[in-house]
Copies of this chain bind each other. A is one copy, B any other.
């Protein structure tokens, strides 16, 4: 069966993504058994997203672990383009980043690219992007990052610290390269063309601050890889180590096989959705069920294409055995979609109630995390 064409850039994910093909296209490496064992050795346990191949691709992760073993501890860098409210898909790499922070006891630098979102979105004002930045920061904090080991900033508020690094990167990146990597057109604005340099800067920030080569590990969704390919190409010219990367797949849409997108209502659950709103979205979700209950009982469902199963698999079912059982029951026609939706909705509801409490508390704690020039 030939797969349809797909496109993955930091600003566009279109079509049905073939993740194995993407590894070849982007030139990254799959996370293999050996690497998993190496992580397990240090972390004690593998995060479900590693066990289940959701974080599935990397660059230089072996080097990060070797440096760690030598006592040259890395730091984590990830971020978010604050184009709107946070949805559950955004949380995925952050939850994983929290696992890395806890297990390796390392610093996290979290970038909110308000500048990028303002420049890429025709109708977005800068004030809106800044406001979303602060809103999104609440979700990061609510996940439980350690304030003494976590720095969060908005580009427009921390640009003085980033700018010198950004222009050093920018000097080394031609329009040709940027065009080839990101698919810019003549109609692209000059800000978004420059922006990749601003996204590169935090990968060198700790080296710059400490005046020595500090390894950097970037957990992110794989669509962000093109930015860091540029960063990695430039790094040796500036005397910094190339940042390592660990990439995850995209969180599924509730409505079927597309990247979760804020632009399609009902496709995403927001962290600020009320439990009843979330429940409603889940009950309208696309599943792998059959047309009738009878048919499904007879033929079984298709969890591989089911967003309910994927929601559980990506985030909400931490217990591998239970997940396996649900898969099998679905296949055998014993677990019907309504029941499975109920199961997921209960989990999402519990998560949201808890998260929203922490998010509320985060409002008083934001200054413990935010850094400004």
Contacts and interface: CB of A to CB of B under 8 A. Distances in A.
8 contacts: A115-B163, A126-B168, A156-B160, A159-B163, A174-B190, A175-B187, A190-B193, A190-B194
Contacts of A194: 170, 190-191, 193-194
A11 to B, nearest CB: 14
B175 A191 contact: no
A189 interface: yes
B159 A175 contact: no
Nearest to A122: B171
Contact of A193 (B115, B159, B193): B193
Interface in A8-50: none
Contacts of A373: 160, 373
A156 B175 CA distance: 22
A150 interface: no
Contacts of A178: 190
Contact of A175 (B163, B166, B174, B184): B184
Contacts of A185: 175
A197 interface: yes
Quick one: copies of this chain in the complex? Answer: 2
Interface string A136-178: 0000000000000000000011011001101110111111101
A288 B193 CA distance: 49
Interface in A312-360: none
Interface residues on A, range: 35 or more
Contacts of A167: 115, 118-119, 126, 156, 191
Nearest to A196: B190
A176 B170 CA distance: 19
A82 to B, nearest CB: 14
A188 interface: yes
Contacts of A156: 160, 163-164, 167
A186 interface: yes
Interface in A169-219: 170-176, 178-179, 184-194, 196-197
A184 B118 CA distance: 24
A174 B197 contact: no
A190 B163 contact: no
A170 B126 contact: no
A219 to B, nearest CB: 26
Interface string A116-129: 00110000001000
A125 to B, nearest CB: 10
A168 to B, nearest CB: 7
Nearest to A119: B171
A173 B189 contact: yes
A173 B193 CA distance: 11
A138 B170 CA distance: 29
A172 B194 CA distance: 14
A189 B164 contact: no
Contacts of A193: 175, 190, 193-194
Given A190-B196, A193-B194, 14 more contacts: A118-B171, A119-B171, A159-B159, A159-B160, A159-B163, A160-B373, A170-B192, A172-B189, A174-B187, A175-B188, A176-B187, A179-B186, A190-B194, A190-B197
Nearest to A165: B126
